[in-house]
């Protein structure tokens, strides 16, 4: 199990088992995450969610790194 603390709507935080994530659908200004038979609305974009799951900063636009190597 891999747990992730994530903001949720309308306000608050949730600790979710990310291994149970089946799919994510854009919903309003954020996403609806489907975790097994339940869903959770979060104020994040798909790009932000992908960054978090990959271990990057939530707002990483890819310009700070080059092919996985930091710039010196």
Considering the domain boundaries, does residue 69 fall inside one? no
CB atoms within 10 A of CB 43: 16
Considering the domain boundaries, does residue 14 fall inside one? yes
- Asked whether the predicted pLDDT for residue 34 surpasses 90, the reply is yes
Considering the domain boundaries, does residue 68 fall inside one? no
With a pLDDT cut of 70, the percent of the chain lying above it is 85
Considering the domain boundaries, does residue 72 fall inside one? no
DSSP one-letter code for 37: T
Q: Please tell me the total count of domains within the chain.
A: 1
Considering the domain boundaries, does residue 25 fall inside one? yes
Considering the domain boundaries, does residue 42 fall inside one? yes
pTM, 2 dp? 0.70
CB distance 43 to 57 below 8 Å: no
Instruction: Please give the pLDDT value at position 22.
Output: 92
Considering the domain boundaries, does residue 70 fall inside one? no
Question: In which domain, by residue range, is 23 found?
Answer: 3-61
Degrees (nearest 5) of the Cα angle 56, 68, 20?
40
């Amino acid at each position: 199990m891999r747990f992730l603390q994530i903001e949720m709507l309308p306000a608050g935080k949730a600790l979710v088992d990310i291994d149970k994530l089946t799919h994510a659908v854009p919903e309003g200004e954020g996403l609806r995450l489907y975790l097994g038979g339940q869903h959770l609305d979060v104020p994040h974009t798909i790009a932000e969610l992908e960054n978090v799951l990959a271990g990057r900063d939530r707002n990483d636009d890819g310009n700070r790194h080059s092919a996985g190597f930091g710039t010196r």
